[in-house]
Structure 1
């Protein structure tokens, strides 16, 4: 039998402590999500509604098919920066007229929807997801353009947004722009470069330069409507393909445009799948509050995959890494999950072989992170840990099947790379509130700095200040701890969102469905040189 048997004691003290710790961290993340949902705050939300306009997420909801989920991406973008949490834009994946789409919606309650550096990063990430998975893009536009005080960080890389729209269209991936308000200066090229354009009567304003700029540049007197109103673009310039009488009409028209796209997924949906045998609620009690304490990732796998059915490979070899085959919402997947944290030579070779097998079978890979990195020490160095770790990283880097990563616990050092961290372009990467990621753990990093400083003082023949050393170590530990937290990393778009562990199966299922909109094909050979 390949059905996993759970050994998790949901009535024990250890489980209760783990659950309490996870719920505390989850509450902190949800509080930050609430800040994103609040947009620009009550004052600006009230003013926006007084103009008879819908909020960004209300527009998204009316666009989507009724009672279908929306996988919001990067909701904590900008966290810890000088900009609003959420970066004044909503991005995500949802179903419109039965078609999975990437949806972006400017939030005009935050500085008029102006784009700051994190807005740009978030929008570029959404376009990247659309291109990789061949998902149509629907842009719900209302933005005053670049946040001018931060233009030095926006202007040069901002051209990537226009490049992406043209590349998507060239690749046969449809783009739709629905203009609800301002779309000025560089923002005018969003409808200008989209395949389909809808504008709202007496609200849309699409022009390269507004009346004040035109006056300064040419001396010409003009007004918003004659320069860039929906009526003008629908009847004179021809930029608008559809003229909407109000916002709801615009969203109705957008749904009709998507319905006529004639989109077909590269792979048909697999149909209903058996749920796991164990409840997802129990995932709250799997990960210890102290990440130094190991946990069995099979307990996670048993609560995520179809029927808790998992065919483990090399179960008696390289025990710190669990690998095997399963199905998730009907889709075949290969899973790599860290068991005891440290990756040794055996685990590295095991992973490399498994990744090659997945590529031969055209099966997507799911990486479940809880690693402190590759093992160090004289015996391990002499045993070839560098070349074996490089073999695993080589396999991950050159694998062509889609990768999905979930950071459950620690994800430190080169182990983060070997388990397909952000730099290795997983199609999607999510984190649990318990996740931490850095070059190494805070105590280890502070200790290394202390040892180096002590050796430097000894080499110069100077006395070492132990009191200053203790203060330095404490400061470094606090800094690294804060910079390794899930919210900090998510704020910098090093993941696609911090998720509730109970939603893991649903989130991965939505990602797998999106991935299968495009062909899923592995590499045949072409892995580079494996050092033996």
Structure 2
């Protein structure tokens, strides 16, 4: 056994301060999550219920196996924009008839479930997760199509949602649409391009154009039921494969469809009875310093998320700013790369590249725990080859084909973010702790660079330099970058798949790893040229 011996003491004053800071950040997240759950607000929800309809999340709850987990993804999509938090869509991974599925539900209390730019971004991300991990998609459809005032931002990219459905079907990944209400214009193509379609008597309405638009376009008079009702599509057009009597019946039929898919996971855990960590999950609240300039040992985090706190560290005496090693998490093998002291040197980069190659040889998924300010700069390090060694690490990350999961727990800046498999490097999942910060560099450093550049430019041109004005601009830039590096801002852009409570990290990663193993886990057999 190589169980980690954690020296972290949650009873110290520093740990209490850290825990309080994390708790305050979690409280802010709870407020934003409540906005997502509220959808269009109390009046819209009341009106929706008065029609005898369930909310999007109630539909999801009924669809899921009893007492099974649901990992909601991108719940803060749209934060900071003019759109409702959540992107007018509730989505995530849940178990239906024993099968892990991607569930995407329009929220009809927000403008009738119409799609805005945040909806499109979030839905495209959910479809990508389904594709990578071979997860059947269940669409809970009630959508008025595009939010027309924002059409220029959604019409062209939004077309990919339909392309993706057909490509998922072609790849043998089932697509199921349960239609709960109006499904108009672009919304009509969700069932139109799904493998299995369920419609509800006198509730489902699926048409490319509703009666008013049909009359305007063709002069034809028609009613909604004959134009696109469930009865018509079940008896005449053939679009409906199943005819449900009410919402509960549609959900029952949806569950039976999944039960008949004959789905089997490509892999499973190495053990079905993993031991829990030896240390309390509550400790995770106090490990990351309130001031990220202060260091912390990521092994204290690892000890609280992996099975039995058992971690076989690889090259522990070499490149010590990056901890690498092997563990199991909920029985699934993982290789872990965790930043130990922020800065990545040449040794860390070379160590990471070798470790990633080994993980690919053994078909082992990789978990990246971010707390890096980037690769080291300076004459000594440039002469020592930091560029080519950093490129080696990024090359290995880019061409690795085993699944990657990234968790941003502290800083994640610059090329260090890339080397640790940030969003652009296609990890299967990206999760963030409330403590994380991510940008091209630290806000203070970036602001200082812009000040220095403006001063040097003025001197080079022989122009007078406004010191007071430049310092004011520097302060404004620092405040801007500080705000833009916050998790909620990045999550609002769907640059992560969710901000998680640190105490839930083991559970979230367990669900993600289980979902990953629906698809084969196969390592790369070749990499790009490593500059030596």
| TM-score of the pair, normalised by structure 2 | 0.99
Q: Which residue of 1 aligns with 2:156?
A: 156
Compute the displacement of 1:213 (Å). 1.3
Cα deviation, 1:351-394, whole Å, max 9, x if unaligned, reads: 00000000000000000000000000000000000000000000
Query: Counterpart of 2:413?
Result: 412
Structure 1 residues 232-271: aligned runs within 5 Å = 232-269=232-269, 270-271=271-272
Shift of 1:26: 1.1
TM superposition shift of 1:454: 1.1
CA distance in 2, matches of 1:457, 1:131: 52
User: What SS does structure 2 have at the residue aligned with 1:8?
Assistant: coil
Count of aligned pairs: 531
Q: Write the mapping of 1:383-532 to structure 2, written as runs, cut at 5 A.
A: 383-524=384-525, 526-532=526-532
Residue 186 of structure 1: CA displacement? 1.6
2:317 matched to which residue of 1? 316
Structure-2 separation of matches of 1:224 and 1:400: 49
1:529 Cα offset (Å): 0.5
Partner Cα separation in structure 2 for residue 65 and residue 77 of structure 1: 26
CA deviations on 1:302-323 (whole Å, 9 max, x unpaired) are 0000000000000000010000
How far off is 1:464 after superposition? Answer: 2.2
Structure 1: stretches of 5+ with no match in the other structure: none
> Residues 211-222 of structure 1 correspond to what in structure 2 (within 5 A)?
211-222=211-222
Q: Which runs of 5+ in 2 are unaligned?
A: none
Task: Give the 5 Å matches for 1:1-12.
Answer: 1-12=1-12
2:371 is the counterpart of 1:370 = yes
CA drift of 1:460 comes to: 2.1
Please give the alpha-carbon distance, in whole angstroms, between the structure 2 residues aligned to 1:251 and 1:183. 17
**C-alpha distance in 1 between matches for 2:84 and 2:212:** 28
| Alpha-carbon separation, structure 2, partners of 1:316 and 1:70 | 40
Q: Is the 8 A contact 2:268 2:332 kept in 1?
A: no
2:434 aligned counterpart, secondary structure:
coil
Query: Do the aligned residues in 1 keep the contact of 2:69 with 2:94 (CA within 8 Å)?
Result: yes
Distance 2:268 2:398 in 1: 28
User: Structure 1 segments of 4 or more deviating over 4 A?
Assistant: none
Q: What is the match of residue 103 of structure 1?
A: 103
Residue 426 of structure 1: how far off its partner (Å): 0.1
* Structure 1 residue 522 displacement after superposition: 0.2
Q: CA deviation at 1:10?
A: 1.2
**d(CA) in 1 for partners of 2:194, 2:280:** 44
Shift of 1:209: 1.1
The 2-side partners of 1:430 and 1:272 are apart by 25
CA distance in 2, matches of 1:244, 1:478: 54
Specify the alignment match of 2:49 in structure 1: 49
The whole-number CA distance in structure 1 between the counterparts of 2:464 and 2:320 is 46
- What is aligned with 1:58? 58
Match of 1:187 in 2: 187
Q: Give the deviation of 1:459 after TM superposition.
A: 1.2
TM-score (norm 1): 0.99
Q: Which residues of 2 match residues 289-300 of structure 1 at below 5 A?
A: 289-300=290-301
Q: Residue by residue, what CA displacement relative to the aligned partner does 1:234-266 show, whole Å, maximum 9, x if unpaired? A: 111111111111001100110011001000001
Give the SS at the match of 2:82: coil
Q: For the aligned residues, what is the CA RMSD? A: 0.7
Partner Cα separation in structure 2 for residue 460 and residue 215 of structure 1: 67
- Could you say what secondary structure the match of 1:417 adopts? helix
What's the secondary structure of 1:154's corresponding residue?
Answer: helix
CA distance in 2, matches of 1:104, 1:136: 11
CA distance in 1, matches of 2:388, 2:209: 57
Q: Cα offset for 1:48?
A: 0.3
How many Å apart are 1:218 and its aligned residue? 1.5
CA distance in 1, matches of 2:158, 2:316: 48
